[in-house]
Amino acid sequence: MRSVLSLLLIFAAPSLFNSASESKWTVTKGSSTIGTITLLTSSSGTRAEFRSPSGTITTLLGGNGSVWLRTSGGDVDLATISATTPETTTATALLLPFTPMKSDAVTVKNGMPASYKFRGATANYTIDSKGASKVDLDLGGTKYTLTRTSISTSSADASNFAVRPRKSAASKLARLSGDLLGTSDASVSATSGPRGVGHPGMELKDGGDYAALKKLETRDTGWKNKMDAALADFQKSGKVGKSREEQ
């Protein structure tokens, strides 16, 4: 029965605090302080900001069923990043109940996290009447200590916990192709161009959206005819270059 209960707890990790809170933490490696963390918790998400002595800030979010690293281009699922750093690892240790992988092992004692194995690290928690007060972290044999220095009730706005995933390369290509094809035409898919193959009207039995491609080809033909006429008028009025008929 005990082993079954432990297995269930792996997929239902509790938070480090029982109510919305803001806490401050120091992060040390041996006798050296390598940074501080500001942790926000709420009913919908968690947020940890690691600040280095030089002032560099690394922000991680717990939400949408995972842990996310904030970047200038949007939030990146930490599970897709293989590299581990002291900044991301120490911050992640405070983001429970959110974990990078559903299989990350969290053991529980008296309804609170006792230990947590994730991304090659092991965190052991000390709990007091307010929640987690200390975390002993082992990352590949290097020891770190996270010590809570203050805690207060938080009323942070939900926007602080909002996850905004970075757009994939495919979605960026679709948007770019739409921009390059000129003014928007709602009847034509922006990705028809990148998916099109062969001569106009050609269709393959590959599941492609050839109806959309045909619309795109028809539209382009109309643009070409108008472009030829407009170019001829421009050349006649300004006597610039040769017309297409003269080339």
Give, in degrees to the nearest 5, the angle at Cα 236 between 230 and 241: 90
H helix or E strand, kind and range, residue 180 = helix 169-180
Q: Which residues contact 166 (CB under 8 A, 6 or more apart)?
A: 71, 73, 74, 75, 76
pLDDT at 234 over 70: no
pTM: 0.66
What is the per-residue pLDDT across 166-225, written as a single tens digit (0 to 9) for each?
986 544 444 444 444 444 444 444 444 443 444 555 555 555 565 666 666 666 666 556
| pLDDT > 90? residue 11 | no
Q: In the predicted model, is pLDDT for residue 89 greater than 90?
A: yes
Structure-token pair, residue 77: 């699922």
* Contact call for residues 96 and 15 (beta carbons, < 8 A): yes
Q: What number of CA atoms fall less than 13 Å from residue 22's CA on the CB side? A: 10
Numbers of helices and strands, H then E, in the chain: 5, 11
Condensed to tens digits (0 to 9), the pLDDT of residues 21-65 reads: 999 999 999 999 999 999 999 989 999 999 999 999 999 999 999
Residue type, 240: V
Task: Kindly give, in sequence order, each residue whose CB lies less than 8 Å from that of residue 108, ignoring residues fewer than 6 positions away.
Answer: 9, 13, 14, 114
Q: Please classify residue 4 by burial: count the beta carbons closer than 10 Å to its beta carbon, then call 0-12 exposed, 13-18 middle and 19+ buried.
A: exposed
Ordered by where they begin, the domains of the chain are: 2-161 (2.50.20.10), 169-239 (no CATH)
Per-residue pLDDT at 8: 40
Confidence of residue 103 (pLDDT cuts 50, 70, 90): confident
Query: 106 phi and psi, to 5 degrees?
Result: -120, 120
Q: Where are the beta strands (DSSP E) in the chain?
A: 21-29, 32-41, 46-51, 57-63, 66-71, 74-77, 105-109, 112-118, 121-128, 131-139, 142-153
pLDDT at residue 105, rounded to an integer: 92
Best CA proximity match to 92, nearest among 53, 144, 54: 144
Q: Which DSSP category does 191 fall into?
A: T
CA separation for the pair 151, 7 (Å, rounded): 31
